[in-house]
Structure 1
Amino acid sequence: MGFLQRTFQYLSWLSLDVVVGAMAGMYFFMDLFHVHLQWPAFALLGLAVWSIYTLDHLIDVQTVRTELVPRREFHRKFRKALCGLLILSVLIGLVGAFTWFGWGKELQLTLILALLILGSRVMIRKIGPGWMKEFSIAVFYVVGIVWLPILRAEAIDITRSSLLFLPGYILLAFLNLLMLSFLDRDEDAKSGFFSVASTLPTQKIIQLIRQVAFGLIFLSLAGFIFLPSFYRPFSCVVVLMALVHYVSFFQSGLPVHQKRQRMELAFSIPWLLMLL
């Protein structure tokens, strides 16, 4: 394995590609709602996303005693170091949030949102149907990246047209999670992890992936045609992200880890809006 590929692999194992993609998503909605956010907002979002994903990975490997794939074995091998970094990340995030927000309405609402998301995830994990896990994570992901842009947007900029991109982004995140669930189905079954792919036959999960992908691409192209010209770059970004997912997932001969990397890197495409 070459140096560049190994570097991307470790970045993926550490969920740093997810962090960059989440910050790109915040930039997407910041630009969409005509909001200007300073760098602390992106840093705090990055810390929050990294902490959530790392905690999730550490919980997964804690109870598994069987042999794991390299991606999860990495978290088990460096569990103590990652736990230390996780605690440090949470502390820096809390101090940074209080310093930047102050004990005001934004921070209070954000903490309430975090508690609601945590409670919902616990309930869904225990009683939710198979697909609810992936769909709820997609919703929470998009709520997290759009939360601050929505709070700071002027009422005049929150239009029906701009709000259409919220379900579009949720569908994109849901598509990503469906694809990852399918790619990891054998690994999850061996380790006892729960996912939507473990509750649906192979043909049905593939059919669902195609339906979500084609629906998202069709809706994005419709937005490009029918929405005002201001929204066309945003429609193009969503189309590009959906196409990268579809082509990567269905490309035969491409290793699973490279499919994962390409699909996660697709969420960084919104950074192209900085060039416009």
Structure 2
Amino acid sequence: MWTWFIAHLNHVHLRWSSLAAMAAAVWTLYAADRLLDALSPTSETLEARHHFHSDHRAGFMAGIAIASVLLAFLLPGIPEQAIRLYLVLGGLVFGYFVIIHVVGSAHRLPKEIAVGVCFASATFIPTVARDPALRIPLLPAALLLAALCSLNCLFIYAWEHPQPGAQQPHPITALALRHLAGLTVIVLVISTGLTVLDHGVSVFLHAALALAALALLLVHLRRHQMERVELRAAADLALLTPLLMVPFL
């Protein structure tokens, strides 16, 4: 959705194959990450989503195989420049998986922040690959989306780990966890300021970012009235704000 939204605002036409490839790749990475998490020997750190993936491992493995075949089929329809950028990003994501799941050094990497940066990068690649002149103009929005995606992960981590566990998070993650509300307010203020100052099509992009930051903050303020699984769903729902912009495009 974000990939289509960013491209549409900047008059960049994306083939259906690019959007389908994005959906398949993101779902595959998400499912693989959960399946690898479920192999962890410390079952007390696992949440309902991990147990669900573990209980339906065969189905998810079949889904990953199908998605991989689909990606191979869609690859020829993706521009060469976008593939180059995705290869660079893919190398970083592969390194992330090795550090987290193979080496077992999750505490040495600010995982939630890395996920936010990788997600935002993948979202903007289809647009900037087709129109490199947009790289600088879209950089503020890309940084704000990366911050929002990281905040999404950090809020979920904070809600699921109200008490510090045996394994401490990365120092950068721990610092961000202590200032979650303040960081979200900063993203909200910057996004709102850019919305007010922008007189072009990016006003819708900045408005969607501002609304997402506000929604995350409101969910956090109501965290004591909601169950963990509801909080997690609400945190992801907060990032669907581009849908509110569609009627105005």
Length-normalised TM-score, structure 2: 0.84
Count residues with an aligned counterpart.
Answer: 244
Distance across 1 between alignment mates of 2:176 and 2:59: 37
Residues 192-249 of structure 1, C-alpha deviations (whole Å, 9 max, x = no match): 7x7459973xxx6554201210100110111022222433222211111111111112
Deviates more, 1:47-56 or 1:25-34: 25-34
Structure 2: 5+ residue stretches without partners: none
Contact 1:178 1:197 in 2 (8 A): no
More contact order relative to length (CA 8 Å, sep ≥ 6): 1
Q: What's the counterpart of residue 28 of structure 1? A: 5
The aligned residue for residue 17 of structure 1 is none
- Counterpart-to-counterpart distance in 1, 2:153 and 2:188: 17
Are 1:239 and 2:188 an aligned pair? no
How far, CA to CA, are the matches of 1:75 and 1:261 in structure 2? 17
Query: 1:186 & 1:197 partners in 2: Cα distance?
Result: 17
Mean CA deviation greater in 85-94 or 228-237 = 228-237
Tell me the secondary structure at the aligned position of residue 137 of structure 1: helix
In 2, Cα distance between equivalents of 1:54 and 1:182: 22
TM-aligned CA deviation for residue 189 of structure 1: 4.3
Report Cα offsets for 1:141-182 as digits up to 9, x if no partner: 111111111101262xx1744321011111111111110111
Please provide the CA RMSD for this pair. 2.9
- Give the distance between the partners of 2:232 and 2:209, measured in 1 at CA: 18
Match of 1:85 in 2: 63
Alignment of 1:31-180 (within 5 A): 31-64=8-41, 66=43, 68-98=46-76, 100-101=77-78, 104-123=80-99, 132-153=110-131, 155=133, 158=134, 160-180=136-156
Match of 1:268 in 2: 240
Match of 1:254 in 2: 226
Instruction: Name which of structure 1's ranges 137-146 and 60-69 shifts more when overlaid on structure 2.
Output: 60-69
Identity %: 20
Tell me the distance in 2 between the aligned counterparts of 1:108 and 1:131: 25
Deviation at 1:26, TM superposition (A): 0.6
Structure 1: 5+ residue stretches without partners: 1-23
Residue identity in the other structure for 2:38: V
State the one-letter code of the partner of 1:29. Answer: I
**Correspondent of 2:201 among 230, 247, 253:** 230
What residue identity is the alignment partner of 1:143?
S
Q: Is the 8 A contact 1:237 1:269 kept in 2?
A: yes
**For residue 183 of structure 2, what is the aligned residue in structure 1?**
212
